Amino acid sequence: MKAASKKYQIILIHILFISNFFNVFNVFAGNISPLSDKYALKKVEILDDRQHHSGDYKSNCFVKEVEKGKDPKIFQATVYRRSSDNKFLLMFNKPKTEAGKGYLKIEKNLWMYDPITGKWERRTEREKIGGSNSRRSDFDESKLAKEYNVKFESVDKLGDFDAYKLSLLVKEGVDVAYPKLMIWIDKENNNELKREEYSLSGKLMRTSYYPSWVKEFSKSKKDYVWIPKEIRIFDNLEKGNSTTIVITDSDLNNLPENIFTKAWVEQQSR
């Protein structure tokens, strides 16, 4: 009886050893385990932090707008940000029909300046920027963890990338372009790979892809800041329509204090 018991213990040890071996093998083979909702939120917080810059930011943006049956339109704009007090400015430079138009956000208020009329108007995050299908948030750093509740959905595969698929629902009282999101985060580097944006009723509005990222060293943060180099946005309501945003010449040095003012924006179109 003792011999049988000892033999059973040896077999059990072997089973546990083999089980642990295959668990380790699966990790190295690229298999990834599901996340708790708490850890899913942590992944989004890391995503936000990698893009967050505690100082100022400036970049040039080229926007290509494709509408089915029409010639493509090209827009050129300059984006300014001050993360320390949540200020944002986008100024259109080209084409002539949009040049001088500015979108200024101070705290929770978004304003649009029309150089033709010389007037300012309040805008919401849901409205299109200029004559393109882009939204203001497409040009800003990620703040998803502050704006949305996060839930783990599944482990997914996007091409060669292992990814976490997460669903996000906007928090009460927060103004965003889309109340529901589905995002795919790269398991290896925690950059966003894909995003689906939904209306409150659950209709898919846009699908965005982030094929490439660059990193710039921030003196104020004392770490690297990750910036999407290109964003490809596809309109799910108007099939065949798309928007491509290319971000260049990112600069993390300090900006003049008066840039984030209505007076400075008005001056640029004179």
pLDDT tens for the chain, 270 residues long, are 444 444 444 433 443 343 343 333 333 334 566 889 999 999 999 999 999 988 999 999 999 999 999 999 999 999 999 988 889 999 999 999 899 999 999 888 999 999 999 999 999 999 998 878 899 999 999 999 999 999 999 999 999 999 999 999 999 999 999 999 999 999 999 999 999 999 999 999 999 999 999 999 999 899 999 999 999 999 999 999 999 999 999 999 999 989 999 999 999 987
Indicate if 3 and 62 belong to the same structural domain. no
Count the residues in the chain.
Answer: 270
Number of other residues whose CB lies within 10 A of the CB of residue 156: 17
Closest CA to 241 of 68, 74, 75, 71: 68
Indicate if 14 and 120 belong to the same structural domain. no
Indicate if 21 and 95 belong to the same structural domain. no
What is the bridge-based pairing of β-strands 180-186 and 192-198?
Answer: antiparallel
Which pair of tokens denotes residue 113? 């300046």
Indicate if 93 and 2 belong to the same structural domain. no
The strand pairing partners of 214, in sequence order, are 227
How far is 153 from 80, CA to CA, in rounded Å?
Answer: 35
pLDDT for residue 10? 45
Which pair of tokens denotes residue 118? 């010389």
The strand pairing partners of 158, in sequence order, are 161
Indicate if 19 and 106 belong to the same structural domain. no
Q: Is the peptide bond before 115 cis (omega within 30 degrees of 0)?
A: no
CATH code, domain carrying 110: 2.50.20.10
Separation in Å, CA 142 to CA 47, 86, 146, 150, 192: 7, 12, 9, 14, 10
Indicate if 229 and 256 belong to the same structural domain. yes
- For residue 3, give its domain range: 1-31
How far is 64 from 94, CA to CA, in rounded Å?
Answer: 12
Residue with tokens 């299908």: 133
Q: Are the C-beta atoms of residues 104 and 96 closer than 8 Å to each other?
A: no
Indicate if 25 and 44 belong to the same structural domain. no
Indicate if 68 and 132 belong to the same structural domain. yes
How far is 182 from 192, CA to CA, in rounded Å?
Answer: 11
Indicate if 91 and 168 belong to the same structural domain. yes
How far is 107 from 54, CA to CA, in rounded Å?
Answer: 16
Q: Look at the chain and report how many structural domains it folds into.
A: 2
pTM confidence score? 0.84
Separation in Å, CA 185 to CA 48, 49, 122, 132, 237: 11, 14, 33, 26, 25
Indicate if 11 and 91 belong to the same structural domain. no
- Identify the three-state secondary structure at position 157: strand
pLDDT for residue 21? 35
pLDDT for residue 31? 57
Indicate if 100 and 12 belong to the same structural domain. no
Most distant CA atoms of the chain, gap in Å: 98
The strand pairing partners of 63, in sequence order, are 75, 245
Indicate if 191 and 205 belong to the same structural domain. yes
pLDDT for residue 33? 67
The strand pairing partners of 233, in sequence order, are 208, 243
Which pair of tokens denotes residue 62? 């080229």
Residue with tokens 């890391």: 46
pLDDT for residue 32? 63
pLDDT for residue 54? 83
Which pair of tokens denotes residue 53? 């810059």
Nearest-5° angle of CA 170, CA 81, CA 48? 40
- Identify the three-state secondary structure at position 158: strand
